[in-house]
Amino acid sequence: MDSMTGEKRRRQSSSQVPGEMNGPGPVELLQLHFHMRLSREWDLRFETLFRQGGISKWYSGVGSEAATVASAACLQRDDALLTIHRDSGAILRYYASCEDLVPGLLPVEKRHGSGKARELLYRLACQLMGRSDGFTSGYDRSFHYAHLDEDSGLRHIGMISHMGAMIPVAAGVALSFRQSGSDRVALNYIGDGGTSTGEFHEGLNMAAVLDAPLVLVILNNRYAFSTPASEQYRGESLAARAAGYGIEGARVDGNDPLAVHAAVSAAVDRARNGGGPTLIEAMLGRMRGHSEGDDSLGILSDAERQQYEREDPVTCFESRLLEEGIATAEHLEKVQRSCAELVLEIADEAAAAAAPELVPGARSVFAPLAGLPGSGPLARTQVDPGKETSYLEAISLALGDAMQEDPGVFLMGQDIAAFGGAFKVTRGLLEEFGPQRVMDTPIAEAGMIGIASGAALLGRKPVVEMQFSDFVSCGFNPLVNVAAKFHYRTGLDVPLVIRLPSGGGVGAGPFHSQSLEATFLHVPGLKVVAPAWPEDAYSLLREAARDPNPVLFFEHKYLYRRIKAPLAQDSIEVGAGIEARARVVRSGDGVTVITWGWMVHRALAAAEVLSAEGISVEVVDLRVLSPLDERTVLESVGRTGRALVVHEAQLTGGFGGEIAARIAAGAFESLDAPVRRLAYPDNPVPFNKELEAACLPNEESIAANLRELAAW
């Protein structure tokens, strides 16, 4: 337990970051008080609703009002606010001035806003109750939402449940400001428990390296759920970590709104002027448990609990306002009454609002392509007619042409700038487009994907290179829980491409040879592409860079320099994004092979062998795995009556099982034989090339399966 008294902590924090009453003027102080009291009444009302069964869960912000309100008060129009689950004070301050909500209570406050404050608070209450008028229309809970409004200058991005995950996203939002030449900043919060996550480190370290205008406030109430700070970290303070990242840091009394305001104001000014990120640790008392009803407040001793009650930031600030003669008792009572009445009125309206319409699948996981500008013929890098272009060269050309077409496209990855990437795909792009658009990053896959997601939310179009597809597992959380779900939850676009050098055949062993597409095909909201030809590698990557959704681009390492073909023309018809588009690359009427990537070439070789034996094989190259072109597959099987699905990934859980199930359901009456699968054995990829080759589907094993199917 931290036994420091509130007054002693205030003196100490004042010596680090001044928090005297001569900072903000009297009007600003009264405005801070209004929002602190509004936040308190908001929390008290929703605590009551939880006890009455009106909401299913509540994470109370009681005790954090000084830190959240005072920090959010430092933001200006078009700055971004990124919150977690106890930041209602920041949200209320960011959305609405006192004059917007209770006209005449205080002198008019000058701040950004749209005049929609009352409506926003109603929508917020509906969001918390799961009503249709909430920001996510009941599809996600509590503060798991986003509200971006260009007219009012509000850029609020809420949380996901995984702690620390939004720090890289906030860094990406801040990076987008820097790239666009804006002086806007991003303000983000994290609890003390969330600072132990890997994404805390990756996000803050990358923000520092990128000089991103980010202010990260740690709300340290000394416990993560029930784990005390002494069991979370050994450092003297969390703010001391700032030195390790080479950024500014400060520890302040989080119960003192003036100390918080001074620290955050300085950090915001520094960020606006190119000084990079700041880490601020606001020390709080724990006045509520982790969530209402979980009994975690019971871990406090009576002495701790009494201490934190004495240091209540709302009542202590009210006492200071009285002592300084800035407010009267009558004014404070009027503010409390006005806030309580306002919150009760809004909560009652929200409780009476309509529940979501119960239509499963009515909300799309993908942002629509229809109506997007830019589809049509596009000039591409001039190539000699008939010149053979490698698979790798086609990808490189596509990246350069996409960047030429759209200034919002930029590249991120390890060693992709001066070095040109592990496979030299990005060689020459740094010289052409500069370091702001071809960016080397630390080894931090979660940080990269999280930052790219944040930048994408604000309209940038990042293309992230994983050195090997295997390493994307380190970025699993931001990919499947942030990028993939954002449109479904919030309606926002996430135009993000992850390039994934994938597959085996080169003797690279179990950590550089995996085919992981099926892992992500199970995740709604991700588009998955696996081209087999230079022309498809070019056109599909161009379309991926235009798509408003996250796209995983599995490019096969074995094909990089082995497959060459002339690109079709000097201009190409490219759509507005990735759509289902399988292609029959060889026609036949005896048996169908469905495959993608490297296996397309092996299937074609097997089909050529069987043609001499009188067996006609049709080969379907899926090209795009999600969304799947099921119609082309079923039409092919309808013609042949037999189907073999071939893929390089392991058999169990591979995408072949899903395709086989769809064929069985959609083409059952056409089948003359069971649907077969040919895949890698259920074991990791061995290092020895001969061992690996023995496991991979090849021309002989594909041909043998086709013969058996044809003879059925």
pLDDT digits (tens, 9 = 90+) for 596-613: 999 999 999 999 999 999
Whole-angstrom distance, CA of residue 276 vs CA of residue 211 = 4
Residue 10: per-residue pLDDT? 31
Q: At 632, which helix (H) or strand (E)?
A: helix 630-640
Strand partners, 586: 619
Q: Quick check: do 386-574 and 583-710 share a fold?
A: yes
Angular region, 503: left φ>0, alpha ψ -120 to 50, beta rest: left
Smallest CA-to-CA distance from 159 within 150, 168, 60, 361 is with 168
DSSP reduced 3-state for 321: helix
Architecture field, domain 6-351: 3-Layer(aba) Sandwich (3.40)
Token pair for 499:
């390039």
Give the tens place of pLDDT for each residue, 291-327: 888 888 888 899 999 999 999 999 999 999 999 999 9
Domain ranges for the chain: 6-351, 386-574, 583-710
Q: What are phi and psi of 417, to 5 degrees?
A: -85, -100
Token pair for 286:
């724990």
Token pair for 406:
């759209």
Show the low-confidence residues of the chain (pLDDT under 70).
Answer: 1-23, 108-115, 371-385, 569-573
Is 512 tagged catalytic? yes
Show the DSSP H helices in 180-274 as ranges.
198-209, 242-245, 257-272
67, 254 contact by CB (below 8 A): yes
- The CATH number that domain 583-710 falls under is 3.40.50.920
Catalytic residue among 147, 512, 556, 601: 512
Are β-strands 564-566 and 583-586 bridged in parallel, bridged antiparallel, or unpaired? unpaired
494, 549 contact by CB (below 8 A): yes
Residue 19: per-residue pLDDT? 41
Whole-angstrom distance, CA of residue 79 vs CA of residue 58 = 27
Q: What are phi and psi of 345, to 5 degrees?
A: -65, -45
**Matching residue, tokens 């077969």:** 676
Token pair for 345:
């009125």
605 CB burial (10 A radius; 0-12, 13-18, 19+): middle
For 386-416, the DSSP string reads T-EEEHHHHHHHHHHHHHHH-TTEEEEETT-
Residue 382: per-residue pLDDT? 57
- The CATH number that domain 386-574 falls under is 3.40.50.970
227 CB burial (10 A radius; 0-12, 13-18, 19+): middle
Whole-angstrom distance, CA of residue 170 vs CA of residue 277 = 11
